[in-house]
A and B are shown apart, each in its own frame.
Chain A
């Protein structure tokens, strides 16, 4: 009897470490660190969100129930900085943290939200929102929703419905907007309601040369391929040269460069098919495959043309 009373009056001691281990959070965050190169600010913000959700859950377990946090996010950054990749993982992360009920992400663009005639937009937008409920709605290139140059554009209607549902259904839906930094800034300027309803504005920085090289290695690894020593050196030079040229799209440029290198490698193997090759040759990208790139020719031309 006494024991029961004592227990009831003892201030509860909370072991955050045990809760952390039980939640499997460490695993999620480690995985994130391992799979995504660079992106320090993004990872930091995800850690913050994860910590907040865990503490909230512990609080709720002890009867201290508050309102759930708003998790609408905005990802801005240059092309190829991993906005879409992170968004795809976000659904997984939030689900494992127990914030969203089902692990699904609906990825939409303007076309999926905005209708073609009067009265078409609202049902279309609602349909998409309903599909996304319980999970994450990812709006890629969100700034296209707002087209100031056309005053009869139906994008505004979609924006209004989005705002309304984002506010009313915070517990059921996480909306992530993504787009290039400058255009998103203009978009938020024109729609201040969006800016204030989004709790997390995450800016994706450009990758450094070293990070891009690490990404390239990861991409190759996923296909069981690798650089040889000279190839690695050539690719580092490629990244440096590519960065100075127009339409540089970070990791996307790297992916395209690798795709083209694979093509050249395949052609090289076909042309030299007379002699037998070993397995190693099939999965190795050599310096030759990279140095043939147009980027080096352009860079040389640029260097030659610059003094003139």
Chain B
């Protein structure tokens, strides 16, 4: 099942040129750009691992693509990779844009678990098949 998170989630995966164009847009807006990765696809897994530090004072998208390439060398096919852009103009860093750039080839998806509780009350739980295996061996 294809994971859909963040901006452009219902579009086909962006090409490198398209990613660079989005990054250029962020830089022109003065946003800081961050590359993150994770192998836990749960939608509530908000805080992904950071690849290096956020990039605050870049002038050109090439630098982000350079870091993205470096991140892909390590994590491509084994993790999701996303780019997020933070706007500090309100006085704090707030997320403006976030999109997935790379995903594992095989995404097993989720199952819904029902737990019957007291008084026939039913609790629902989302379980990612990938997390059945330990972190690092999931994809």
Contact = CB atoms under 8 A, between A and B. Distances in A.
Interface string B35-61: 000000000000000001001011111
Contacts of A80: none
Interface stretch (A10-18, A30-38, A43-51, A131-139): A131-139
Interface string A162-199: 00010001011100000000000000000000000000
Interface string B85-101: 00000000000000000
A193 B61 CA distance: 27
Contacts of A101: 60, 62
B62 A131 contact: no
Contact of B58 (A130, A165, A169, A171): A130
Contacts of A104: 59
B66 A133 contact: yes
A102 interface: yes
B126 interface: no
Nearest to B62: A172
Contacts of A102: 59-60
Interface string A101-127: 110100000000000000000010000
Contacts of B66: 130, 133, 165, 169, 172
Contacts of A135: 59-60
B67 A134 contact: no
A165 to B, nearest CB: 8
B89 to A, nearest CB: 21
B14 to A, nearest CB: 19
Contacts of A131: 57-59, 63
A264 to B, nearest CB: 43
Contacts of B60: 101-102, 133-135, 172
A123 B61 CA distance: 18
Nearest to B67: A130
B62 A169 contact: yes
Contacts of B63: 129-131, 133-134, 172
Contacts of B62: 101, 133-134, 169, 171-173
Closest 6 CB pairs of A and B: A134-B60, A130-B63, A172-B62, A133-B63, A133-B62, A133-B60
Interface of B: 52, 55, 57-63, 66-67
15 contacts: A123-B52, A129-B63, A130-B55, A130-B58, A130-B63, A130-B67, A131-B59, A132-B59, A133-B62, A134-B60, A134-B62, A134-B63, A169-B62, A169-B66, A171-B62
